Amino acid sequence: ADEILAKFCRSLENVFSSHVQTNIYLTPGSCQGFNTHFDDHDVFVIQLSGTKNWRLYQRPIDNPYKGESFSTKDHKAGELQKEFELKEGECVYIPRGLMHDATSVGKKASLHITVGLIVKKWADLMLEALSEVAIRNPKFRRSLPPGFARPGYNNKSAKIYFDELIDEFQKSSNFDEVFEVIKENFIRERIPNLRGSLIDTSSNFLKEGLYIRRPNLQAKLKRDDLEAIIVCGGGDLRFELKAYKVLQVILSGEPFSAASLSNSEDSLTLDMIKKLTAFGIIEPIQKT
């Protein structure tokens, strides 16, 4: 992957707390790439070369869910709402669900990057909350009534039980707990930035060597009764509980060395620095 584009994507993921994907499109002069359609995710279009004439229409679906894809049979563009030219160096935001199309202007080919934001939705949080409640409350794990799919089944009693579960959910769900689960799962889903880590870990580790948290690193430090834990891309890194305060310093974003931490309550070992470097948490500061 292009290093500059990768850094750009990681910075956007850090800002928006969403998965970011990119596609690069080259369109010949006076041509249209795709027919009128909408996307099920938000996009930023960055024009790199040439000019494109964009047309924005109506929204047949408000905030389409993931997988709720465009269909020429079911979704019509509606009336034209806005038309404009996107020139080199300009950017436009296209919300998910908004019908659009674009045609390159003149004989010059058009080159643009589409940056897609795959966001977490409130429905995702609610589903996670329901799962957490179901783990704790056996009422949610009961089987549906026998024969519920048979013709003529009377669902009156099932409706009563359903309403009871709605009340149970409202009483039992814990927003703060579920919000932390959503946050941690998002962090774990990030692709670790391991560029240069193999070379860095094969180098000599000196107590005086300076290191720093990698830019745009998404990580969370927490602890339980036994361990200090860094939640990060690819999974969790676990350390002895006594390393917690040292890890706080490491993740602060300020430069540090093993020697500078030697006066802390618990000193950082070179093995810990090597582990954090290997997993893309920190990187050495190159002296110029």
CB-CB contact of 108 with 16 (8 Å) = no
Instruction: Assess whether 46 and 94 both reside in one domain.
Output: yes
Chain CA centroid to CA 262, Å: 36
Residue 21 and residue 92 share a domain: yes
pLDDT at 75: 78
Residue 236 in any domain: the answer is yes
Domain that holds residue 206: 197-284
The answer to whether residues 88 and 27 belong to one domain is: yes
Mark whether 56 and 104 lie in a shared domain. Answer: yes
Phi, psi of 145, rounded to the nearest 5 degrees: -60, 140
- Say if residue 30 is in the same domain as residue 46: yes
pLDDT at 182: 97
Same domain, 107 and 126: no
User: What's the pTM?
Assistant: 0.86
Number of domains making up the chain: 3
Position 264 in a domain: yes
Distance CA 249, CA 83 (A): 51
- Interatomic CA distance for residues 86 and 112, integer angstroms: 10
pLDDT of residue 2: 84
pLDDT tens across the length of the chain (288 residues): 588 999 999 999 999 999 999 999 999 999 998 999 999 999 999 999 999 999 999 888 888 887 777 777 777 888 899 999 999 999 999 999 999 999 999 999 999 999 999 999 999 999 999 999 999 999 999 999 999 999 999 999 999 999 999 999 999 999 999 999 999 999 999 999 998 888 888 777 667 789 999 999 999 999 999 999 999 999 999 999 999 999 999 999 999 988 888 655 445 578 888 899 999 999 999 753
Q: Do residue 110 and residue 139 come from a single domain?
A: no
- Give the pLDDT confidence score for residue 268 in this predicted structure: 57
H or E element in which residue 117 lies: strand 110-118
Structure tokens at 148: 């519920």
Does 9 share its domain with 113? Answer: yes
